[in-house]
Amino acid sequence: MRAILKSMTNTETEQMLRTIAGDGAYERGLEYFKSGNVGELATSGAKTVARVEGTELYTVTMHWTSRGFDGVCDCPASDGFDFCKHCVAVALTLAARDAELATLKTGSVEEQIRAFLLQQDKAYLIDSLMEAANNLPGLSQRLSLRAAAAAGQVGLKSLKKEITAASPRRNIWRRQEVYRYFERFEAVLESIVEVADDLPANDLLKLVEHAIDRLNKSLERVDDSGGSRWSVQHQINALNIKAISQMEWSIEQQAAHLLGQVLADPYDHFANFKHAYDELLGEQGWIAFYAQARKRLEALPPLEFDASFTEASEHISLCYLLTPWYEASGDISQMIAVMEISCHSATDCHNIAALYLSQGDTQQCGTWLAKGDAHLPAQRRTTELHVTYFEACGDPARASEIQHTMFRDQPSYASLKNLLRLAELADTYDQTQATALEFLHKQLQGHVYHSQTAAMILARMHHDLGDLDAAFDLLQSHVADESLLLEATGWFKDQPNRACALVKSAVEDCISGKNKRAYRRAADLLEQVARPQFNVLGTEAFDAYLMTLRESHRAKSSLMRVLDAKGL
């Protein structure tokens, strides 16, 4: 029977095929189509041949004509003549392909390319793919491994050689060379991931170990300060997940294996392992993972105080694993227990003391604080933790004394405010304030860095007291740093002339750098800060300022070029 299928809607196609093949053949052919029983369509000119999986594998041949196409099949029902269910399935597949092509041809460039490729025969596609593979090592690598896998020639030994060849031990530091090095390494691992399902799970685990070992050796000689290796690590994790999931292991065994890998990691290959392995382990797997980490930590021998990093490395690694886990659940007591096991330095003691203090346990806080202080010189026993501890213990005088020392060592406005607050609690406000102000005024006469810091603190005090005149005078006479001046600009929102004066000084500070980077920063300030600030004074204020600025710096040709490029 001749079948003619013109361009028509889905409903019209169904009606036509029901008429040609009959309702029974159409329904069975529709099931074949939906189930994907139609194999690859091989089109050459006006002829399309397809294999359809039925009781056996049958061949359907379609011939396009000016009115539509003919369809015949070699199954017994068709006998090379009737339009059978297999012909229906192929006709529906062709109609679906033509509909997809029509949509793709009006879509993006990528969709149009896809539409073009769908119409090409296998020989053309093979030639095109081989040509692309010759120019793209990564694609060539993937195709080579897939071909070897299809031929049953992929094994542990050959894949290890591929990894080794992709990660030669060479001294590399130039950024582009480093990038290309890890790009080749990644391509090999990506290819192995694609054929991983054809390999025994034990072999996959050995490949992961080999890949990690090769990456570690590479990082001994390759300068990867730019982080190019992260794509390689991603592929190693993907391969590792496949390997672990294919092993017939219990959740506890999976967790134990991953824990061993994480603890043996010298280069942070498993830095984001929690996210990467979340789907593999699941909630129960993580519970097992951290339970085993805790058990392993508790089984370690006690650490001597001031133990070396090598001696304490496993304690430290396990502590770093466990504390975020307990912190996420809000279990501070377990965080403390873990940190106490791994404690071996004054810093560790102080961290434990801080956790006890967060729970309101000043007694334990004091014990651990004293334990840490015993191993520190006197000048390092003045920290915010000490201040908070003595205040919590009801001793504001001692807290104020420590805060005063901290303020003198590293003056800041916040430190001064806390000092005066504590002094008020200790009934020593006037004396403490006088001493602090005397210190700041002496700093005004010292090194420029200290004088600017002191001037900013004093100016902020005057600002808070409402004395903007005194604050402005201090800024003008002692502060030249751009960032400090811009910070102070906001204090004078109601005094635009003074705000503009500070912006001018900030611009001059940039220009004083006398290099292109400094000039570009000055131009950015003019555009982003000075222009809107001067516009408050009037529409012509900024233009007048800019004219004066250019005149005063006209000898700086590089600055003039930067300003010209900005249109200033």
Task: Using the CB atoms, write b or e for 325-350: b if 16+ within 10 Å.
Answer: bbeeeeeeebbbbbbebbbbbbebbb
DSSP 222: B
Q: Which helix (DSSP H) or strand (DSSP E) does residue 539 occupy? A: none
Q: Which residues have C-beta within 8 Å of that of residue 34, sequence separation ≥ 6?
A: none
For 28-175, strand residue ranges (E) read: 38-44, 47-53, 57-64, 69-73
Residue 1: predicted pLDDT: 36
79, two tokens:
């006998």
Distance (Å, whole) CA 159 – CA 144: 12
In 3D space, the residue among 333, 269, 267, 322 whose CA is nearest the CA of residue 292 turns out to be 322
In 3D space, the residue among 244, 308, 324, 315 whose CA is nearest the CA of residue 280 turns out to be 244
Which runs of consecutive H residues, i.e. helices, occur in 264-345?
Answer: 273-276, 278-299, 309-328, 332-342
Task: Residue count of the chain, please give it.
Answer: 568
Residue 378: predicted pLDDT: 75
Q: Which residues have C-beta within 8 Å of that of residue 198, sequence separation ≥ 6?
A: 149, 154
Pairing of strands 38-44, 47-53: antiparallel
In 3D space, the residue among 236, 152, 127 whose CA is nearest the CA of residue 190 turns out to be 236
Distance (Å, whole) CA 203 – CA 254: 16
Distance (Å, whole) CA 509 – CA 482: 6
Distance (Å, whole) CA 307 – CA 375: 13
* DSSP 3-state percent helix, strand, coil across the chain (nearest 5): 70, 5, 25
Distance (Å, whole) CA 297 – CA 316: 9
DSSP per residue over 274-288, as a string? HHHTHHHHHHHHHHH
* Residue 43, φ and ψ in degrees, nearest 5: -110, 130
Distance (Å, whole) CA 404 – CA 312: 36
Residue 345: predicted pLDDT: 92
- The series of mean pLDDT values per 10 residues for the chain, 568 residues long, is 48 81 89 88 79 88 71 80 85 82 75 74 77 72 69 79 90 91 90 85 93 93 90 92 93 94 85 86 94 95 90 93 93 96 94 95 96 85 91 95 93 94 95 93 85 93 92 92 91 92 93 91 92 88 92 91 90
335 and 306 in contact (C-beta within 8 Å)?
no
Q: H/E/C letters for each residue in 144-184?
A: HHHHHHHCCCCCHHHHHHHHHHHCCCCCECCHHHHHHHHHH
Residue 319: predicted pLDDT: 95
Sign of the CA dihedral running 191, 196, 198, 204: positive
125, two tokens:
């596609």
Q: What's the whole-model pTM score?
A: 0.67
Amino acid identity of 215?
Answer: L
DSSP 536: T
Three-state DSSP at 439 gives helix
Residue 93: predicted pLDDT: 87
368, two tokens:
């651990």
pLDDT digit string, tens, across residues 131-152: 777 777 667 767 777 766 666 6
Distance (Å, whole) CA 420 – CA 436: 9
